[in-house]
Amino acid sequence: MVKIDAIVREEKYEEIKDALNHIDVHGITVSQVMGCGVQKGYSSLVRGKKIDINMLPKIKFEIVVSSSEWADKVVETITKIAFTGNHGDGKIFVYDLKDVIRIRTNQHGCEAIY
């Protein structure tokens, strides 16, 4: 089993969600998060005063799939949709999972994610 965490631009949320649905990935968790990286934020004038904003709003997708083949499909799909070529496109983290447990039934492993 593999867990994929993808942190992407807010405006890419609907496109990525639809693309994941199209490849039959339905179990996702989505969070609104704040972060910074190479982009380092931006400066803005607020009431005539320059303010540095270095924590930018992003969307975090958390997805668990049964195999590395599925993980590759998910990563390829997200990368294709999220890419703009500019700083701030995001990051994807891929982890091997030791176990998953469905609390309601006490199922373990792949049975717990489907």
pLDDT score recorded for residue 54: 79
Q: Which CATH architecture has domain 2-112?
A: 2-Layer Sandwich (3.30)
How high is the pLDDT of residue 41? 67
Q: How confident is the model at residue 48, as a pLDDT?
A: 84
Residue 83 and residue 49: Cα distance in Å, rounded?
A: 33
**Contact yes or no for 8/84 (Cβ under 8 A):** no
DSSP 57-93: EEEEEEEEESSHHHHHHHHHHHHHHH--SSTT-EEEE
pLDDT for position 44: 75
pLDDT score, position 66: 93
Whether the full predicted model's pTM is greater than 0.85, yes or no, is yes
Residue 39 pLDDT: 65
Domain ranges of the chain: 2-112
**In order along the chain (114 residues), what is the average pLDDT of each group of 10 residues?**
97 98 95 83 77 86 96 98 93 96 95 88
How high is the pLDDT of residue 74?
98
